[in-house]
Chain A
Amino acid sequence: MAIFVNENTKVIVQGLTGGQGKFHGLRNRAYGTNVVGGVTPGKGGQDVEGIPVFDSVADAVKATGADASFIAVPPKAAAAAILEAAKAGITFIVCITEGIPAQDEAKVFNTLLRDYPKVRLLGPNCPGIISPGKCNIGITAGEIAELPSAKGPNVGIVSRSGTLTYQALYELKQQGIGVSTCVGIGGDPVPGTSFVDCLAEFQKDPETHAIIMIGEIGGSAEEEAAEFIKANVTKPMSAYIAGVTAPAGKKMGHAGAIVSGGKGTAQGKMDALREAGVQIGLNPTEAGSLMAEIVKGLK
C-alpha cells in the first residue's frame, strides 16, 4: 500500500527541460519512479535522456496515460501550470515551486476545489512525496528513506519542512524502521494538502502502523490536526514543532512560518497535539527516538 503514490503512479514533469526539473526528474526516474514524460511549451517532440517532451499536459496525458505531475517551474508560471495539469486530467499534482504569491495560491486552491474536486495538489513549496521502493516525486534523496518491511511496523511521515523531513527519514533509517510514505506538505500559507488529509490516509493505510508529524509555527494546521487525531486517528504518533524561539511577526524562511497577533505559536501547537495523545519531542531527534520506542512496542 502506501498513500497517494505507489509503483503504478505514472508521472510527467512540467518543466522537465529546466534546471530543477531535469535534475530532480532524472533522479526520480533513477530511483525507479515511472517518469513517462515531460512538458515544456514549444519543446514538444524533443526528449530528455529518453523521456519524451510534450507541448502541453493534455498532449502528455493522451500519449502516456500519466495520472501524476511533478511541477518544477518558476513562481510566475506555477499557478497556470497547476490548473493546466488539473484540466488535462492529472489527479495528483506535486508542486515544489517556492515563492508563489499567496493571492495566486489562494485562487488556485479554491479553483481546484470548485472545478476539479478530485484533484489533489501537494505543495507548493514542498519537497514532494516518497513511498520508499515504489515512487519518489520531488527533491527527496531517495537513499535516505528506509524501505517498508512486509510485516511491519512501518511509519508514515508528514511534514511542513523539507530538511526536517529528511532528518526524520534519516533517523528512522538508522534505527532500521521502515517508512510507508513520507509526505512534505510544504511551508506556504495555503498548502493544497493539509496534515489532516495525510493523517486520514495514513489512518486508512494498512501498511502504516505509526505516524510522525513535523510542524512549525504559523497558521493553525497543527491545531486542526490535533482535533482530527482526537476523533479519528488510532495509530500511535510522535511529533515535533519547530520555532519555539522564533520572534513574533517575522517570516522564518517559509512564507507561512510566522507568529502573528499571538497566534500560531509552537507552544500552542505542542499543547494541542499533546492533548490529542501525541508524544512530543523537543527536537527532531527526540521525536525520532520517541517513534523508535513506539515501534518497539508494536513489534
Chain B
Amino acid sequence: MDLFEYQGKQYFAKFGIPVSAGGVAVTVDEAVKVAEASQYPVVVKAQVQVGGRGKAGGIKLANNADEVRLHAGNILGMDIKGHVVKRIWVEHASDIDEEYYASFTLDRAAKKHLLMLSAQGGVEIEEVAEKDPDAIVKLHINPVDGLSEKVARQAAVDAKIPAKALDGVAKILVQLYDCFTAGDCDLAEINPLILKPTGEVHALDAKVSLDGNAEYRHPEWAEYSATEELDDREQLAREKGLQYIGLSGTVGIIANGAGLAMSTLDVVNQVGGTAANFLDIGGGANADQMAAALEVINFDKDVKSIFINIFGGITRGEEVAKGIVEAMKRVNLRAPIVIRLDGTNAEEGREILASAGIPESKLMSKPTMLEAARAAVALANGK
C-alpha cells in the first residue's frame, strides 16, 4: 500500500524523523487554516501518488492567505496524469542549503536490507544512478544485526555528506531504518533530505510503501486503507474479500491461484484480447466465492465476455462445476462465460456444466486454456 506524502510524513514523525510543520486540507478554507497555523511562507502541495507534481503546477509557494486561497483553489480538483487531486498538504516553507537522498528497501537478490544514500538529492534517484552512479552509496544491512548510528555515520561519510550534516544525517538514517523495519515498510524514502541554514537535517518529502502482510499488527493503518485510491470495481472486490486488480480490457478473468490468474491474462493477450482484470479466487472456488467473483466482474461495464480458468487440485472438478452453476443462478450476468475446467475430476465437472440446462450462448466449455482464451476473446470482440 502506497502512502500519500502527508501520510508518509505523519508516519515518519511517529519514528521521530523531523518533518515540516503542516497539515492536510480538502477545502480552500481548511488550507488557509493550516497555513495560518504553520507560519508563512507556506508550500501548497497536491497529494497524488504520481511523479512530476511540481511541473504540473501541483506545488506552489504562498506568502499570505490570499495566495493560499488562489493556489489551493487551483490545485484541488486538478488532474495530474489522470490522478485527480482530492487533498493538499500545506506546510511551512523550509530554507534549503543542501539536498540529499536516503532510502531503505529489501534487496531480494541479496536477501538483505539495502540503504541507498546520496549527497545528490532533490532529483530522481534513477537519474543520478544513470549519470553519476558513484554518487550513490549502497549498503547492505543484515536484518539480524540492524543498523547502528556508527555504521550509518560511516555510510554518510562515504556518500560525501559534508561534515556539518553528518550527525543529523546519521541520526535520521537510524530513525528511518527503524521506521522501515518496525513500521513494516516495503520502501521508506526521503528525497530530498535537506540541510537547513540553521544546520538541522530534515525530511522535506516522504515516500512510503507499506507491506500489506503486516496489516494485522498495525491497526493504525486503517486510516491509510480508507484513503487508498481504488476504482469502484476494486472497492467492491475489497468488500467481498477478493484478490482483484482492475485493468482496462474487455475479457473478465476468474482463475484459481495467483500464478494461473497471471497466466490467464497472458494467454488472453497472446490470442489478441485484453483482460479487464486480475482475479484470484483462491484454492477452494465454492459457490459463494464464485458468486462474489461474478458479481464484481459483472459490475464492470466494459466486460464483454468472462473467462473462468480453473485447475482442480484438491478441490475436485465436480465441486467447482456445482459452484459455478449455483453462482450463475444468483447473479444475473450481462456477458457470456467461457470456462476451462481441468485437473482432478475435470470430466465429471464438465458433464455437470453440460447438463445444467444453461444455453451455450451463456456458458461455453473448452478443454484447454488456449481454446478457451480464443473463444472468450472472439466473444469480446463481437465475433
Q: Hey, which bits of chain A sit against chain B, CB under 8 A?
A: 27, 75-76, 99-103, 106-107, 109-111, 114, 139-141, 143-144, 159-167, 170, 187, 189-190, 214, 216-221, 224, 240, 242-247, 250-257, 261, 266, 282-285
List chain A residues, Cβ under 8 A from B261. Answer: 252-253
- Closest chain A residue, CB of each to CB of B244: A253
Contact A245 B214 (CB under 8 A): no
Separation of A266 and B259 alpha carbons in the complex (Å): 13
Q: List A contacts of B112 (CB < 8 A).
A: 106, 110
Bound-state CA distance A210–B262 (Å) is 25
Tell me whether A102 and B259 are in contact (CB under 8 A): no
Taking A103-B184, A217-B262 as given, write out 18 further A-B residue pairs in contact, using a Cβ cutoff of 8 Å, ordered by the A residue number: A110-B143, A140-B313, A144-B344, A163-B256, A167-B311, A187-B258, A214-B259, A220-B108, A242-B262, A246-B278, A247-B247, A251-B212, A252-B262, A253-B257, A255-B212, A256-B108, A257-B258, A283-B270
Contact among B109, B213, B275 for A220, CB-based, below 8 A: B109
B5 neighbours in A (Cβ, 8 Å)? none
Residue A27 contacts which of B243, B257, B262, B314 (CB distance < 8 angstroms)? B314
Which 10 pairs show the lowest CB-CB distances between chains A and B? Answer: A161-B259, A253-B258, A163-B257, A101-B214, A163-B260, A164-B259, A242-B262, A141-B313, A219-B108, A106-B143
Question: Could you say which residues of chain B place their CB within 8 Å of the CB of A159?
Answer: 259
- Bitwise, B180-207 to A at CB < 8 A (1) or not (0) is 0100101000000000000000000000
Asked if residues B262 and A166 are in contact (CB atoms below 8 Å), the reply is no
Interface residue ranges of B231-278 to A (CB < 8 Å): 243, 245, 247, 255-263, 265-270, 275, 278
Asked if B21 is at the interface of the complex by the 8 Å CB criterion, the answer is: no
Please tell me if the beta carbons of B106 and A253 are within 8 angstroms of each other in the complex: no
A142 to B192, CA, bound (A): 54
Q: What is the total number of residues of chain B having a CB less than 8 Å from a CB of chain A?
A: 50
Q: Are A283 and B369 also in contact (CB < 8 A) when A190-B111, A253-B280 are?
A: yes
How many angstroms from the CA of A48 to the CA of B283 in the assembled complex?
24
Whether A255 lies near B143 (C-beta < 8 A) is: no
Q: How far is the CA of A291 from the CA of B163 in the complex (A)?
A: 61
CB pair A141–B311 under 8 Å, yes or no, is: no
Q: Name the one of A170, A187, A247, A251 contacting B311, with C-beta atoms under 8 angstroms.
A: A170
12 pairs, A vs B, C-beta closer than 8 Å: A102-B184, A102-B186, A102-B213, A106-B143, A107-B144, A141-B344, A164-B259, A166-B311, A189-B108, A242-B262, A252-B258, A282-B270
Name the distance in Å between B159's Cβ and chain A's nearest Cβ. Answer: 20
Quick check: A103 and B144 within 8 Å, CB to CB? no
Tell me whether B216 and A75 are in contact (CB under 8 A): yes
Assess the A163–B259 pair: CB atoms within 8 A: yes
Are B265 and A76 in contact (CB-based, < 8 A)? no
Which partner residue on chain B sits nearest A24 by CB separation? B314
A158 to chain B, nearest CB (A): 13
Q: How far is the CA of A256 from the CA of B280 in the complex (A)?
A: 15
**A216 with B262: CB separation less than 8 A:** yes
- From the candidates A170, A189, A261, A284, name the one contacting B263 in the complex (CB within 8 A): A284
Provide the bound-state CA to CA distance between A165 and B258, in Å. 12
Q: Is the CB of A103 within 8 A of B211?
A: yes
> How far in angstroms is the closest Cβ of chain A from B259?
2
Q: A170-B343, A246-B262 are known contacts. Are A164 and B257 too (CB-CB below 8 A)? A: yes
With A and B bound together, what is the CA distance between A250 and B258 in angstroms? Answer: 13
Please tell me if the beta carbons of B247 and A254 are within 8 angstroms of each other in the complex.
no
CA of A256 to CA of B186, assembled, Å? 11
Determine if B143 and A103 form an interchain contact, defined as CB atoms under 8 angstroms apart. yes
Min CB gap B42→A, angstroms: 31
Asked whether any CB of chain A lies closer than 8 Å to the CB of B142, the reply is: yes
Q: Which residues of A contact B258 (CB under 8 A)?
A: 161-163, 187, 252-254, 257
B71-120 CB contacts (< 8 Å) to partner A = 106, 108-109, 111-113
